[in-house]
Amino acid sequence: MTTTRTALVTGASRGIGLRIARQLAEAGYALTLSARREAGLLEATTELRATGADVTPVVANLAAEEDLHRLVAAHTDRFHRLDLLVLNGGVGAQGSVADLPLKTYDLVLNVNLRAQFLLIQRTLPLLRAAAAATPERGAKIVALASITGVAGEQGLAAYGASKAGLISLCETVTLEESGNGVTATALSPGYVDTDMTAWKRDELDADAMLTTGDVAELVLAVSRLSAHAVVPNIVLTRAGGQLWRA
Protein backbone atom coordinates (compact mmCIF):
# COMPACT_ATOMS: atom_id res chain seq x y z
CA MET A 1 0.00 0.00 0.00
CA THR A 2 1.27 3.47 -0.87
CA THR A 3 2.06 5.84 2.02
CA THR A 4 1.11 8.89 -0.08
CA ARG A 5 -2.26 10.42 0.74
CA THR A 6 -4.68 9.76 -2.08
CA ALA A 7 -7.96 11.30 -3.18
CA LEU A 8 -10.59 10.38 -5.73
CA VAL A 9 -12.49 13.35 -7.19
CA THR A 10 -15.50 12.93 -9.49
CA GLY A 11 -16.50 15.66 -11.93
CA ALA A 12 -12.90 16.88 -11.90
CA SER A 13 -12.63 18.11 -15.49
CA ARG A 14 -13.90 21.64 -14.79
CA GLY A 15 -15.70 23.92 -12.34
CA ILE A 16 -15.62 23.12 -8.64
CA GLY A 17 -14.10 19.65 -9.11
CA LEU A 18 -11.09 20.91 -11.07
CA ARG A 19 -10.45 23.62 -8.48
CA ILE A 20 -10.57 21.02 -5.69
CA ALA A 21 -8.21 18.76 -7.66
CA ARG A 22 -5.73 21.63 -8.12
CA GLN A 23 -5.67 22.36 -4.40
CA LEU A 24 -5.38 18.71 -3.42
CA ALA A 25 -2.49 18.27 -5.86
CA GLU A 26 -0.80 21.30 -4.32
CA ALA A 27 -1.30 19.75 -0.87
CA GLY A 28 0.55 16.62 -2.05
CA TYR A 29 -2.30 14.20 -2.73
CA ALA A 30 -2.01 11.58 -5.47
CA LEU A 31 -5.24 11.77 -7.43
CA THR A 32 -7.71 9.67 -9.32
CA LEU A 33 -9.88 12.04 -11.33
CA SER A 34 -13.03 11.21 -13.25
CA ALA A 35 -15.50 12.87 -15.59
CA ARG A 36 -17.90 11.72 -18.30
CA ARG A 37 -16.17 13.31 -21.29
CA GLU A 38 -12.60 12.37 -22.11
CA ALA A 39 -11.34 15.61 -23.68
CA GLY A 40 -11.92 17.82 -20.62
CA LEU A 41 -10.60 15.17 -18.25
CA LEU A 42 -7.36 14.74 -20.22
CA GLU A 43 -6.91 18.51 -20.40
CA ALA A 44 -7.22 18.73 -16.60
CA THR A 45 -4.82 15.77 -16.22
CA THR A 46 -2.22 17.41 -18.46
CA GLU A 47 -2.49 20.68 -16.51
CA LEU A 48 -2.03 18.98 -13.14
CA ARG A 49 0.74 16.65 -14.27
CA ALA A 50 2.67 19.70 -15.49
CA THR A 51 2.80 20.81 -11.84
CA GLY A 52 4.28 17.45 -10.84
CA ALA A 53 1.04 15.88 -9.61
CA ASP A 54 0.44 12.12 -9.71
CA VAL A 55 -2.87 11.87 -11.61
CA THR A 56 -4.82 8.86 -12.87
CA PRO A 57 -7.71 9.90 -15.15
CA VAL A 58 -10.72 7.59 -15.51
CA VAL A 59 -13.54 8.37 -17.92
CA ALA A 60 -16.74 7.34 -16.13
CA ASN A 61 -20.39 8.26 -16.46
CA LEU A 62 -21.97 8.58 -13.03
CA ALA A 63 -25.21 7.23 -14.50
CA ALA A 64 -23.52 3.95 -15.56
CA GLU A 65 -23.01 1.40 -12.79
CA GLU A 66 -20.29 -0.51 -14.63
CA ASP A 67 -18.30 2.72 -15.11
CA LEU A 68 -18.35 3.30 -11.35
CA HIS A 69 -17.05 -0.20 -10.66
CA ARG A 70 -14.28 0.47 -13.18
CA LEU A 71 -13.46 3.78 -11.51
CA VAL A 72 -13.09 2.21 -8.06
CA ALA A 73 -11.07 -0.68 -9.51
CA ALA A 74 -8.67 1.75 -11.19
CA HIS A 75 -8.06 3.62 -7.93
CA THR A 76 -7.69 0.36 -5.98
CA ASP A 77 -5.17 -1.13 -8.41
CA ARG A 78 -3.07 2.00 -8.27
CA PHE A 79 -3.17 2.92 -4.56
CA HIS A 80 -4.93 0.32 -2.33
CA ARG A 81 -6.04 3.11 0.02
CA LEU A 82 -8.26 6.17 -0.15
CA ASP A 83 -7.84 9.07 2.26
CA LEU A 84 -10.38 11.44 0.71
CA LEU A 85 -13.37 10.68 -1.50
CA VAL A 86 -14.73 13.86 -3.09
CA LEU A 87 -18.20 13.23 -4.49
CA ASN A 88 -18.37 16.33 -6.64
CA GLY A 89 -19.72 15.29 -10.05
CA GLY A 90 -23.37 16.12 -10.53
CA VAL A 91 -25.96 17.49 -12.89
CA GLY A 92 -28.39 20.40 -12.60
CA ALA A 93 -31.96 20.35 -13.92
CA GLN A 94 -34.72 22.89 -13.84
CA GLY A 95 -38.35 21.86 -13.55
CA SER A 96 -41.24 22.09 -11.14
CA VAL A 97 -42.95 19.20 -9.37
CA ALA A 98 -45.98 19.74 -11.63
CA ASP A 99 -44.08 19.53 -14.90
CA LEU A 100 -40.78 17.68 -14.51
CA PRO A 101 -40.66 14.54 -16.71
CA LEU A 102 -40.03 11.41 -14.65
CA LYS A 103 -37.17 10.57 -17.01
CA THR A 104 -35.37 13.76 -15.92
CA TYR A 105 -36.10 13.04 -12.27
CA ASP A 106 -34.57 9.56 -12.65
CA LEU A 107 -31.47 10.91 -14.40
CA VAL A 108 -30.85 13.57 -11.74
CA LEU A 109 -31.33 11.12 -8.88
CA ASN A 110 -29.09 8.55 -10.57
CA VAL A 111 -26.23 10.99 -11.25
CA ASN A 112 -26.53 13.01 -8.01
CA LEU A 113 -27.43 10.38 -5.42
CA ARG A 114 -27.43 6.76 -6.62
CA ALA A 115 -23.86 7.00 -7.96
CA GLN A 116 -22.69 8.52 -4.66
CA PHE A 117 -24.26 5.67 -2.68
CA LEU A 118 -22.53 3.12 -4.88
CA LEU A 119 -19.16 4.90 -4.77
CA ILE A 120 -19.27 5.17 -0.98
CA GLN A 121 -20.23 1.51 -0.63
CA ARG A 122 -17.49 0.34 -2.99
CA THR A 123 -14.72 2.54 -1.58
CA LEU A 124 -15.41 1.84 2.10
CA PRO A 125 -12.76 -0.91 2.32
CA LEU A 126 -10.19 1.54 0.86
CA LEU A 127 -11.27 4.35 3.19
CA ARG A 128 -11.10 2.03 6.20
CA ALA A 129 -7.62 0.93 5.12
CA ALA A 130 -6.41 4.55 4.95
CA ALA A 131 -8.02 5.32 8.33
CA ALA A 132 -6.27 2.32 9.88
CA ALA A 133 -2.94 3.50 8.44
CA THR A 134 -3.40 7.08 9.76
CA PRO A 135 -5.79 6.80 12.74
CA GLU A 136 -5.15 10.37 13.96
CA ARG A 137 -6.48 11.72 10.65
CA GLY A 138 -8.94 9.02 9.64
CA ALA A 139 -10.42 9.01 6.14
CA LYS A 140 -13.00 11.49 4.86
CA ILE A 141 -15.79 11.75 2.37
CA VAL A 142 -16.81 15.20 1.18
CA ALA A 143 -19.97 15.37 -0.95
CA LEU A 144 -21.03 18.39 -2.97
CA ALA A 145 -24.65 18.86 -1.99
CA SER A 146 -26.30 22.28 -2.33
CA ILE A 147 -28.09 24.90 -0.26
CA THR A 148 -31.13 23.71 -2.28
CA GLY A 149 -30.87 20.45 -0.36
CA VAL A 150 -31.19 22.41 2.91
CA ALA A 151 -34.05 24.72 1.88
CA GLY A 152 -36.08 23.71 -1.17
CA GLU A 153 -36.25 26.07 -4.10
CA GLN A 154 -39.02 26.60 -6.64
CA GLY A 155 -38.22 25.03 -10.01
CA LEU A 156 -35.43 22.76 -8.72
CA ALA A 157 -37.60 19.82 -7.64
CA ALA A 158 -35.36 16.88 -8.60
CA TYR A 159 -32.09 18.67 -7.95
CA GLY A 160 -33.10 19.71 -4.42
CA ALA A 161 -34.39 16.25 -3.59
CA SER A 162 -31.14 14.65 -4.76
CA LYS A 163 -29.04 17.03 -2.68
CA ALA A 164 -31.22 16.63 0.46
CA GLY A 165 -30.74 12.87 0.05
CA LEU A 166 -27.00 13.33 -0.20
CA ILE A 167 -26.90 15.34 3.05
CA SER A 168 -28.76 12.53 4.81
CA LEU A 169 -26.51 9.88 3.29
CA CYS A 170 -23.44 11.68 4.67
CA GLU A 171 -24.97 11.71 8.15
CA THR A 172 -25.66 7.98 8.03
CA VAL A 173 -22.14 7.21 6.84
CA THR A 174 -20.68 9.13 9.76
CA LEU A 175 -22.94 7.35 12.23
CA GLU A 176 -22.14 3.92 10.84
CA GLU A 177 -18.45 4.31 9.95
CA SER A 178 -16.89 6.69 12.53
CA GLY A 179 -15.84 3.63 14.53
CA ASN A 180 -13.76 2.62 11.51
CA GLY A 181 -12.26 6.11 11.21
CA VAL A 182 -14.39 7.13 8.21
CA THR A 183 -16.56 10.26 8.36
CA ALA A 184 -18.57 12.24 5.82
CA THR A 185 -19.27 15.92 5.28
CA ALA A 186 -21.85 17.44 2.96
CA LEU A 187 -20.93 20.80 1.47
CA SER A 188 -23.95 22.93 0.58
CA PRO A 189 -23.14 26.10 -1.37
CA GLY A 190 -25.43 28.64 -2.95
CA TYR A 191 -24.76 29.68 -6.55
CA VAL A 192 -21.11 29.18 -7.58
CA ASP A 193 -19.73 30.73 -10.75
CA THR A 194 -19.30 27.68 -13.04
CA ASP A 195 -20.78 26.29 -16.26
CA MET A 196 -23.64 24.87 -14.19
CA THR A 197 -24.93 28.34 -13.33
CA ALA A 198 -24.54 29.86 -16.82
CA TRP A 199 -28.37 29.86 -17.15
CA LYS A 200 -28.63 32.14 -14.10
CA ARG A 201 -26.26 34.87 -15.25
CA ASP A 202 -28.98 37.03 -16.83
CA GLU A 203 -30.44 37.69 -13.35
CA LEU A 204 -27.35 37.15 -11.17
CA ASP A 205 -23.95 38.54 -12.08
CA ALA A 206 -21.02 36.10 -11.86
CA ASP A 207 -19.42 38.55 -9.40
CA ALA A 208 -22.33 38.01 -7.00
CA MET A 209 -21.76 34.24 -6.95
CA LEU A 210 -19.43 32.18 -4.79
CA THR A 211 -16.10 31.20 -6.32
CA THR A 212 -14.83 27.66 -6.90
CA GLY A 213 -11.92 28.66 -4.64
CA ASP A 214 -14.33 29.30 -1.74
CA VAL A 215 -15.64 25.76 -2.04
CA ALA A 216 -12.22 24.13 -2.54
CA GLU A 217 -10.91 25.93 0.55
CA LEU A 218 -13.54 24.20 2.69
CA VAL A 219 -12.78 20.77 1.22
CA LEU A 220 -9.14 21.27 2.17
CA ALA A 221 -10.12 22.40 5.68
CA VAL A 222 -12.26 19.29 6.20
CA SER A 223 -9.45 17.09 4.90
CA ARG A 224 -7.15 18.47 7.61
CA LEU A 225 -9.46 17.76 10.56
CA SER A 226 -8.48 15.07 13.03
CA ALA A 227 -10.50 11.86 13.23
CA HIS A 228 -12.10 13.26 16.41
CA ALA A 229 -13.96 16.02 14.58
CA VAL A 230 -16.87 15.85 12.14
CA VAL A 231 -18.72 18.65 10.38
CA PRO A 232 -21.93 17.02 9.11
CA ASN A 233 -22.94 19.76 6.69
CA ILE A 234 -21.37 23.08 5.70
CA VAL A 235 -23.75 25.68 4.32
CA LEU A 236 -21.91 28.25 2.25
CA THR A 237 -24.04 31.24 1.39
CA ARG A 238 -23.47 34.26 -0.81
CA ALA A 239 -22.96 37.65 0.81
CA GLY A 240 -26.15 39.73 0.59
CA GLY A 241 -29.74 39.50 1.68
CA GLN A 242 -30.64 35.88 0.99
CA LEU A 243 -28.60 34.09 3.71
CA TRP A 244 -30.23 30.58 3.67
CA ARG A 245 -31.28 30.75 0.02
CA ALA A 246 -29.20 29.97 -3.10
Ligand X SMILES: NC(=O)c1ccc[n+]([C@@H]2O[C@H](COP(=O)([O-])OP(=O)(O)OC[C@H]3O[C@@H](n4cnc5c(N)ncnc54)[C@H](OP(=O)(O)O)[C@@H]3O)[C@@H](O)[C@H]2O)c1
- Write out the residues near ligand X by the rule CB under 6 A: 11-17, 35-37, 40, 61-63, 88-91, 111, 144, 146, 189, 191-192, 194-197
Q: What is the DSSP letter of 8?
A: E
- Which of 15/138 has CB closer to ligand X? 15
CA distances to 39, 62, 67, 112, 165 from 107, in Å: 23, 10, 16, 8, 15
* CB-count burial class (<10 Å; 0-12, 13-18, 19+) for 81: buried
Farthest-apart Cα atoms in the chain, separation: 52
Is 191 a known active-site residue?
Answer: no
Provide the minimum distance between the beta carbon of 144 and ligand X in the complex, in angstroms, as a whole number.
Answer: 4
In the complex, minimum distance from the CB of residue 209 to ligand X, in angstroms, rounded to a whole number: 7
Query: Which one, 65 or 135, has the nearer CB to ligand X?
Result: 65
Cβ of residue 101: shortest distance to ligand X, in angstroms? 17
Residue 37 or 201: which CB sits closer to ligand X?
Answer: 37
Q: Which of 29, 105, 159, 191 is catalytic?
A: 159
Q: How far apart are CA 194 and CA 102, in angstroms?
A: 26
- The residue among 131 and 161 lying less far from ligand X, judged by its C-beta, is 161
Minimum distance, C-beta of residue 202 to ligand X, in the bound complex (Å): 15
Cα(199)–Cα(67) distance, integer angstroms: 29
**Nearest 5°: CA angle at 192, between 103 and 145?**
55
Residue numbers annotated as active site: 159
